Structure 1
Amino acid sequence: MPKQLSHMTRSLIRLMTILSVTVLTACASNQSITAAISAYQQQAEKVSLGQSKAQVLALLEPTQMHLRSQSMKAAETYIDNDRLKEIVFFRSRSFADGIVTDDEFTPYVFEDGVLVAIGWTAIGGPKTQAQSRNNDSTLHLHSRFIY
């Protein structure tokens, strides 16, 4: 009996350790998202249309450096009427639904390396949106943009 109890105790301790690490990782991830959004909000005010892509990225990329790849959105690039179009997304808000959706990012649209638009209106709106729940308590907005 003591051997079984010892084995069960070790298994329980392992399980509790795994659960603790999982919870701490989730908390750290949420904190990094909140920190990134806060840093983004401070820097976004310094961005204006007509700036070069290098200028904009120098201001905004550092705000996202601690985000995990699952919390980010990949840039999009295409050619339209012989002009290079690039859309770079920055994490600008978060919802408590646990799902990463387009409406949690602000798109920056560059044409031939120059910022020509900020926000979803220029590109037709977000494809995915957060699911509203009554207990959504974490909402971060950027004061310059209407979503």
Structure 2
Amino acid sequence: MKRRRMRAPLACWLAASLLAGCALQEASKDYAVSRIDEAIARYKAESAKVKLGDSRDKVLALLEPTQFELESNEIKAPVALEGEIGSTGDHVVVVHFFRSARHADEAPDARGLPPDDNFTPYIFTDDVLTGVGWPSLLSLRVRKPAEHDPKKGNPCDMLGPMAGCF
């Protein structure tokens, strides 16, 4: 009889602990969603002030503060590329990504980061904003390495079938 009395409070305590853990996890998830949604709303308000031709410093001064509430696994780091734009030669191209969307059913990628379509890319060429959005980024021609060093000659001419050339 005494054992049965001890089991009931223990079972109640265990059930309460599990429910409290679930409630805490749900509250944490709701807070993260709320934080992301607020950052997106701030981004949308500030992004309207950005225009092509703005300096990188000006754009970052407007948009970076909108992302401060986000955690490291909720943002995307900038990328620097060495690119060739048209016939004007080499330029330094830097792409900054700003959180601009959240999907209710989204799942993080293998690295735990949100999908790319949650971000808007801002493309800076020599520290000047030259493009915004995925079409601008995808149409950017990035310089490709030469297939072979012209000083060394064409490997197919020198080695023929041994180089895999037929």
2:132 alignment partner, one of 118, 123, 130: 118
Higher RCO, 1 vs 2 (CA within 8 Å, ≥6 residues apart): 1
CA distance in 1, matches of 2:10, 2:16: 10
CA distance in 2, matches of 1:108, 1:56: 9
Runs of 4+ aligned structure 1 residues displaced above 4 Å come to none
CA distance in 2, matches of 1:9, 1:86: 57
Q: What TM-score, normalized to structure 1? A: 0.78
Q: How does 1:18-57 map to 2 (within 5 A)?
A: 18-57=21-60
Is 1:91 equivalent to 2:99 in the alignment?
Answer: yes
Structure 2 counterpart of 1:78, which letter?
Answer: L
Are the aligned partners of 2:106 and 2:115 in contact in 1 as well (CA < 8 Å)? no
Q: What TM-score, normalized to structure 2? A: 0.70
CA distance in 1, matches of 2:99, 2:8: 49
Instruction: Give 5+ residue unaligned stretches, structure 2.
Output: 85-89, 108-113, 140-166
Overall identity of the aligned pairs, in %? 34
Q: For each residue in 1:39-78, what CA deviation from the matched residue of structure 2 results, as whole angstroms up to 9, or x when unmatched?
A: 1111001111111111111100111111122222221112
CA distance in 1, matches of 2:138, 2:83: 16
CA distance in 1, matches of 2:106, 2:133: 22
Are the aligned partners of 2:122 and 2:133 in contact in 1 as well (CA < 8 Å)? yes
CA distance in 1, matches of 2:122, 2:56: 9
Q: The residue matched to 1:124 in structure 2 has which SS?
A: helix
Say which one has the larger Rg. Answer: 2
